[in-house]
Amino acid sequence: MHVVILAAGQGKRMRSALPKVLQALAGRPLLAHVLDTARALGADKLSVVFGHGGEAVRAALDAPDLAWAHQAEQLGTGHAVAQALPHLPESGPVLILYGDVPLTRRETLSELITRAGTDGFALLTVDIPDPTGYGRIVREAGKVVRIVEQKDASEAERAITEVNTGILCCQAQHLRGWLARLSNDNAQGEYYLTDIIAMAVADGITVQTSQPAEVWETLGVNDKSQLASLERLHQRNLAQALLQAGVTLIDPARIDIRGALVCGRDVEIDVGCVFEGEVTLGDGVRVGANCVIRNTKIAAGALIHPFCHLEGASVGPKDLIGPFARLRPGTVLAEDVHIGNFTEVKNSAIAAHSKANHLSYLGDADIGSRVNVGAGTITCNYDGANKFRTVIEDEVFIGSDTQLVAPVRVGRGATLGAGTTLTKDAPPAELTLSRARQLTLLGWKRPAKKAK
């Protein structure tokens, strides 16, 4: 099977410099959703017909299984499909999809392909109360005979509520002949792909129809309002799937999934959370309100307090994170690690049972187990040109307001006094501190504000 995806529309109503098919739905381009579905069908080859902003579309989504066909002029859907003819096989089924119709389910398309059979034609239609703007399905004795576009329809034809979605499946050898016979003698002056239905009937081919389980599977995007509506529909569907899988969502209407979210048993997610990329939540994980979690694995029993931002991190079992904590890429936490409020960790490994509960920055560090990091501690990992690592061995106690100037090592069991600026290695099991001698300047007075 070959799939042709029409993605050449400029999308003027989007009022955006970004091509329409690159507008984001759930954090990914509209066209990416269509490509995923086409690949899930097991297509041998996919052809994408591009036009406006085509180079940007190719740069964003090019892949070995894609063939690209350029539609230099926008002369209608029939003309668009014709641009893909050099990539089509001589025979075999061809499925026509649209780059701005992202939510059609694989099961719906599989049924359509089955209806088409080995030598037939199948059309995806839908019944809607207000068919304004859609091509109407004209039947005689119950059989499809043609499609008439809104601007070319008679009053009686405009009353028809069964409409064309544009999605169809037919045989490549027939498609080639029909496209060659298309005319633009219509109100729009375009080559309508829908005209091939009447040609198929004239050639004695019965046009089968199939309908999706939900109307939203056929909805396209023409402006930002429609995009926003489709986003909420999609997020509602994703939330419903999580609920059916046993995930507790405090409010299913207030979650955003922009990638793949995999949850174990007894996971609980509070309101306002955003999940991006590949995110895994283990059994019993609880995520507090208003967290943003991107490309992160969180092990069983971990608690993510509200307002945390996690990216490219690995959180261990029973860890406590936040509130207001940030884990940046390269963070690897073992079990029972506490990262508290306004603490940031980057490219660091922290072993089991260690804590950094307040107002600290731990970057490019290897931290052992049972380490206590006091409030205000900073690993000074950057000299303005190069990054260096800090090593803190097991059972170290670091006093508040400490700066560790990398590269530096703190030996096992060492204690660093509060206010220390460590520039040399601290020996194991000893107290190390560096403070200026405390002075009291008698009679010193604060500056007074001068009167104007």
Q: How many CB atoms lie within 10 A of CB 140?
A: 9
What is the CATH classification number for the domain harbouring 304?
2.160.10.10
Q: Per the domain annotation, does 19 fall within a domain?
A: yes
* Catalytic member of 33, 79, 305, 358: 358
Q: Per the domain annotation, does 338 fall within a domain?
A: yes
Q: Per the domain annotation, does 450 fall within a domain?
A: no
Q: What is the pTM of this model?
A: 0.89
Q: Per the domain annotation, does 442 fall within a domain?
A: no
> How much is the pLDDT for 268?
98
239 and 200 belong to one structural domain: no
- What is the spatial distance between Cα 371 and Cα 389, in angstroms, rounded to a whole number? 17
Query: Catalytic residue at 234?
Result: no
211 and 234 belong to one structural domain: no
214 and 229 belong to one structural domain: no
173 and 234 belong to one structural domain: no
Task: Tell me how many domains the chain contains.
Answer: 2
- What is the spatial distance between Cα 294 and Cα 114, in angstroms, rounded to a whole number? 39
In order along its 452 residues, the chain shows pLDDT tens digits of: 899 999 998 788 999 989 999 999 999 999 999 999 999 999 888 999 998 778 899 999 999 999 999 998 889 999 999 999 999 988 899 999 999 999 999 999 999 999 998 888 999 999 999 999 899 999 999 999 999 988 889 999 999 999 999 999 999 999 999 999 999 988 788 898 989 999 999 999 999 999 999 999 999 999 999 999 999 999 999 999 999 999 999 999 999 999 999 999 999 999 999 999 999 999 999 999 999 999 999 999 999 999 999 999 999 999 999 999 999 999 999 999 999 999 999 999 999 999 999 999 999 999 999 999 999 999 999 998 999 999 999 999 999 999 999 999 999 999 999 999 999 999 999 999 998 787 878 898 877 888 88
- What is the spatial distance between Cα 81 and Cα 84, in angstroms, rounded to a whole number? 5
> How much is the pLDDT for 61?
94
- Residue 35's domain comprises 2-218
What is the CATH classification number for the domain harbouring 24?
3.90.550.10
> How much is the pLDDT for 72?
87
34 and 147 belong to one structural domain: yes
58 and 83 belong to one structural domain: yes
